Amino acid sequence: MDNLDRWREAAQAVHWFKTPQQVLDDSEPPFYRWFPDGQTNACYNALDVHVAEGRGEQTALIYDSPVTDTCRRYTYTQLLDQVARFAGVLADHGVGRGDRVIVYMPMVPEALIAMLACARLGAVHSVVFGGFASNELAVRIDDATPKLIVSASCGVEPNRIVAYKPLLDAAIELAQHKPDNCVILQRPMQPAELIAGRDVDWTQAMADARAVPCTPVAANDPLYVLYTSGTTGQPKGVVRDTGGSIVALKWSMKAIYDVEPGDVYWAASDVGWVVGHSYIVYGPLFSGCATVIYEGKPVGTPDPGAFWRVIEDYQVKVLFTAPTAFRAIKKEDPAGKYLQQYNVSSLRSLFLAGERCDPSTLAWAQQQLKVPVIDHWWQTETGWPICANCLGIEALPIVPGSPARPVPGYYVQVLDGNGEQVSAGEIGALVVKSPLPPGTFTTLWQAEERYQSAYFARYPGYYETGDAGYIDANGYVFVMARTDDVINVAGHRLSTGAMEEVLAEHPDVAECAVVGVADPMKGQLPLGLLVLNAGAERATADVVRESLQLVRDKIGPVAAFKLCTVVERLPKTRSGKILRGTMRSIADGEPWKMPATIDDPVILDEITEALRTLGYAA
């Protein structure tokens, strides 16, 4: 099918207040505009349309919180009522079309309600991960200049309560821009002191709130701004438009994940990340599914059977999570004993994304669950998958280490440093031919020049993903590492991802990371960090020796893999991505900044000590 015909047809499944006559405006590349003359509303497509079509009593949202021992369900009618009334609260405080609202919330239904209420008014939400440090939140306040901030008194972790309100107050103090109001959800675990005249109690405001209708907005009006860390230290505000997002996400739910209205779809992520936007909030609701908001962890809330319990309790059909979640479960329960305690027969597929899935984790998940395990690749900027095994179109053979082939609408190629296409199997920069499909980012917030220079300047006519990899003779894409994680060892370009793949094959290795460290002779050398399975009985020295030999056997002496050690855990972002760049800077003795998204800063002290034992991190 022709690309424009595909999206013209997909747009017919969307509710429009004004049906677009033009599919694509390509007059100002790289600023492409999909459905430029259409008018719609994301909240209407997520809620109102289903109630109007008679599915109001169907479950829309399931809230499961093992950390607070709470479970709650909302029908589409109930969720629509909550969203329409909270939109009334926002409107009564001056929020209207085009205004920005920052949402700084834990994983509670009110976070989703706030996002949809913004969309209902045509306001632009910017979700900041709950518990983010005050200075990082302040930077986002100054960039987005929100009229209002929605937050909660606290977040709840397995072993502690995180007070959000003091962090929010400090951020507003630091920021140049001051919001008019803050709406605060008081949680009983730790209520907050409200500031008179500025702060509004969520529950009190909702008690007599009026429900408001949807505001028709232009298809190219921003739906949201989502900040992703930039290499310059200044966060990049990724802008997603409204019409393209509805079309692409609704289409992807059937085409990629093969779900139908009424199915239970669970993206075990956080609303602060792009996965939460696309596949906790918008995608499932556009498609009439029931979506799950889970306030817990894959392990420790209370045990490695947490995911299996949720699948059984709610008859989850599709689970989407990060490979790191499954590595955590595998580490604590390598034999899958907890899985045997639950009936997970409702599960039809597992999708993994967020970082590359090593073949050993994929094989373990396949063996345990007996369902297709699909590694798929996408980014904050794209908003939905670039490459995937599209179960709703044609299920392809699963090739470990590959997110399969490009999704229809994405034209992926591999280029060398001169912008020339490379041969099949040869590693290079993964790029996507312009125009990107609907639902991808349309610009950076207040930074159009940066949008062009950061993503489209190096390879004219292509979007630069920042990832390196190759495409094999069968058209399967292999994403091996971020471009700066392809290391140069004595003139040989080697993928750290390929080495991690080999190390993960060792039966005692739960997860691992390989970073390139500076070497005066060879330019760079690979350095491996291993985390062992719970209950591993072999001596760590034996595991290290065997791991070194594995890389030598599978990749060859060219890898010069001689640096390896065992650590208790790896430093990660809250979304589960391993902080390879930070570890590389520590090893090379370069200046580095504490990542704002780090899950536990203490881990970096442990990593620094481990690197010193290998003669690095002076």
Give the per-residue SS3 of 386-399: CEECCCCCCCCCCC
pLDDT over 80 (residue 237)? yes
Domain assignments of the chain as residue spans, ordered by start: 389-485, 490-613
Q: Tell me the mean pLDDT in the region 508-528.
A: 87
Does 294 have pLDDT greater than 70? yes
CA-CA distance, 608 to 530, in Å (whole number)? 14
pLDDT in tens, 380-417: 999 999 999 999 999 999 999 899 999 999 999 999 98
Distance CA 242, CA 239 (A): 10
* CA dist., res. 217 & res. 223, Å (int): 10
The region of weakest confidence among 105-119, 226-240, 343-357 is 226-240
Which pLDDT score, from 0 to 100, does residue 310 have? 98
* The pLDDT of residue 68 is above 90: yes
Nearest-angstrom CA–CA distance, 522 and 168: 48
The total of other beta-carbon atoms located within 10 Å of residue 71's CB is 13
pLDDT digits (tens, 9 = 90+) for 7-62: 999 999 999 999 999 999 999 999 999 999 999 999 999 999 999 999 999 999 99
How many whole angstroms separate alpha carbon 256 and alpha carbon 242?
21
Question: Residues 133-170: pLDDT tens digits?
Answer: 888 899 999 999 999 999 999 999 988 899 999 999 99
Higher pLDDT, 585 or 281: 281
In this prediction, residues 465-482 reach a mean pLDDT of 91
Most confident option among 72-76, 353-357, 478-482: 72-76
494 burial (CB, 10 Å; 0-12 / 13-18 / 19+) is: buried
Q: How confident is the model at residue 232 (pLDDT cuts 50, 70, 90)?
A: very low
Lowest mean pLDDT among 25-39, 434-448, 485-499, 513-527: 485-499
| C-beta of residue 42 within 8 angstroms of C-beta of residue 249 | no
Alpha-carbon distance 281 to 581, whole Å?
31
Q: Residue 166: enclosing H or E segment and its boundaries?
A: helix 164-174
Distance between CA atoms of 459 and 480, rounded to whole angstroms?
A: 20
CA nearest neighbour of 118 among 224, 207, 18, 226: 224
* pLDDT tens digits, one per residue of 568-597: 999 988 777 788 888 988 988 888 888 777
Share of the chain above pLDDT 70, in %: 97
Q: Would you state the pLDDT for residue 484?
A: 60
Whether 257 contacts 309, CB under 8 Å: no
Checking if the pLDDT of 247 tops 90, the result is yes
- Which H or E element spans position 318? strand 318-321
Question: Which CATH superfamily, name and number, covers 389-485?
Answer: Luciferase; Domain 3 (2.30.38.10)
CATH number of 490-613: 3.30.300.30
Mean per-residue pLDDT for 367-381? 95
With both helix axes pointing from N to C terminus, report the angle between 540-554 and 496-503 in degrees, rounded to the nearest 10: 130
Q: What is the pLDDT of residue 126?
A: 98
Above 70 in pLDDT, residue 509? yes
pLDDT digits (tens, 9 = 90+) for 446-472: 999 999 999 999 999 999 999 999 999
Mean pLDDT of 302-325: 96
- In eight-state DSSP terms, residue 197 is T
* CA dist., res. 121 & res. 83, Å (int): 10
Question: Lowest-confidence range among 169-173, 234-238, 486-490?
Answer: 486-490
User: Is residue 460 classed exposed, middle or buried when 0-12, 13-18 and 19+ CB atoms within 10 A define those classes?
Assistant: exposed
Please give the sequence-ordered ranges of beta strands (E in DSSP) within 195-261, or none if there are none: 199-201, 217-218, 222-228, 236-241
Strand order in the sheet with 181-185: 199-201, 181-185, 148-152, 100-104, 124-127, 222-228, 236-241, 441-444
